[in-house]
């Protein structure tokens, strides 16, 4: 089984030009709202056919949809005509329009005649159930566009796959049954969730704070807290004892 997760493309060098040229801009977009570079980013998305590559679709959709949501004027001239996109990209474009959820993009969707998306409000990002690595990417794209920690919750929920840690390595010498395969996929998702939360949490205090809050939340499942504790130690190494006591007391 070949299982590849391109998670956190906005910080990873493996996606080439998009990451190399726009990683810092996109990582900090929710803080700067710097729309000046969006045109260059969007041209790169189209040139590199990122809406057609299954490993790049979801981070682009997650990020771009929320930029359009916050800045609906940017969709004009870029999203108006579904026929202007290659056929292989059109399903991705429909999903992007749907998640943008603006008057402008809803009007465009209505014209497409899509029965899957038109007239239906997208669910809150925090309710997304993670079943693939690509869904992790969608959440990260959404987070970097908005700074909304609700987008982190599905990623954190993937820590529940921690019981499958090591299953991907075991798959190589297993009987490769469907059960083995599913365990390996869940193990890979868990590993990607841990890696991306740690890598981004070290750089972004908002992510580190959210991990800290959930670690001390009495409603967080104990099995999830085990992994949140590992992350907490890595993303908040310099937190003071007073902060720890404040968090435990709910202050």
Name the token pair of 83: 């026929």
Is residue 143 situated within a structural domain? no
Q: What is the pLDDT of residue 95?
A: 97
Contacts 24+ apart (CB under 8 A), 170-177: 171/1, 176/1
Q: What is the pLDDT of residue 245?
A: 53
pLDDT tens, N- to C-terminus, the chain (251 residues): 333 333 343 333 333 334 457 888 998 999 999 999 999 999 999 999 999 998 889 999 999 999 999 999 999 999 999 999 999 999 999 999 999 999 999 999 999 888 889 888 999 999 999 998 899 999 999 999 999 999 999 999 999 998 888 777 777 777 788 877 888 888 889 999 999 999 999 999 999 999 999 999 999 999 999 999 999 999 876 554 445 555 555 54
Q: What is the pLDDT of residue 186?
A: 87
Q: What is the pLDDT of residue 180?
A: 78
Strand, helix or coil at 17? helix
Is residue 58 situated within a structural domain? yes
Instruction: Give buried/exposed letters for 1-33 (b at 16+ CB in 10 A, else e).
Output: eeeebbbbbbbbeebeebbeebbebbbbbbeee
Name the token pair of 128: 């997304």
Q: What is the pLDDT of residue 207?
A: 94
Is residue 220 situated within a structural domain? yes
Burial class (CB in 10 A: 0-12, 13-18, 19+), 78: middle
Q: Whole-model pTM?
A: 0.86
Is residue 5 situated within a structural domain? no
Q: What is the pLDDT of residue 23?
A: 82
Mark which of 127, 162, 192 sits at the end of a domain: 127
Phi-psi map region of 92: left, alpha, beta (phi>0 left; psi -120 to 50 alpha): alpha
Q: Are residues 122 and 18 in the same domain?
A: yes
Question: Which range of residues forms the domain containing residue 37?
Answer: 13-127
Is residue 133 situated within a structural domain? no
Q: Are residues 69 and 105 in the same domain?
A: yes
Taking a C-beta distance cutoff of 8 angstroms, is the pair 65, 96 a contact? yes
Q: Are residues 90 and 53 in the same domain?
A: yes
Is residue 134 situated within a structural domain? no
Please give the Cα distance from 52 to 22 (Å, whole number).
Answer: 19
Q: Are residues 26 and 117 in the same domain?
A: yes
Give the chain's domain count. Answer: 2
Q: What is the pLDDT of residue 249?
A: 52
Q: Are residues 166 and 122 in the same domain?
A: no
Is residue 2 situated within a structural domain? no
Residue 12's contacts (CB-CB under 8 Å, 6 or more residues apart) are 6, 19
């Amino acid at each position: 089984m070949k299982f590849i997760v391109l998670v956190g493309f906005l910080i990873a060098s493996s996606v080439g030009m998009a990451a190399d040229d726009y990683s810092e801009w996109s990582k900090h977009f929710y803080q700067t709202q710097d729309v000046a570079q969006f045109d260059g980013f969007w041209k790169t998305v189209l040139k590199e056919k990122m809406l057609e590559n299954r490993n790049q679709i979801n981070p682009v959709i997650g990020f771009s949809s929320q930029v359009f949501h916050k800045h609906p004027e940017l969709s004009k001239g870029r999203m108006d005509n579904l026929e202007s996109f290659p056929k292989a990209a059109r399903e991705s474009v429909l999903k992007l329009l749907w998640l943008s959820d603006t008057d402008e993009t809803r009007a465009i969707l209505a014209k497409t005649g899509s029965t899957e998306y038109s007239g239906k409000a997208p669910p809150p990002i925090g309710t997304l159930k993670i079943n693939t690595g690509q869904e992790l990417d969608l959440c990260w794209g959404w987070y970097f566009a908005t700074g909304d920690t609700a987008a982190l919750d599905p990623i954190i929920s993937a820590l529940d796959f921690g019981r499958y840690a090591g299953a991907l390595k075991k798959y190589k010498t297993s009987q490769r049954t469907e059960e083995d395969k599913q365990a390996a996929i869940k193990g890979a998702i868990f590993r990607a969730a841990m890696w991306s939360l740690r890598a981004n949490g070290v750089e972004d205090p908002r992510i580190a704070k959210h991990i800290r809050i959930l670690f001390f939340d009495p409603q967080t499942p104990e099995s999830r807290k085990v992994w949140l504790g590992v992350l907490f130690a890595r993303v908040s190494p310099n937190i003071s004892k007073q902060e720890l006591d404040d968090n435990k007391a709910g202050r």
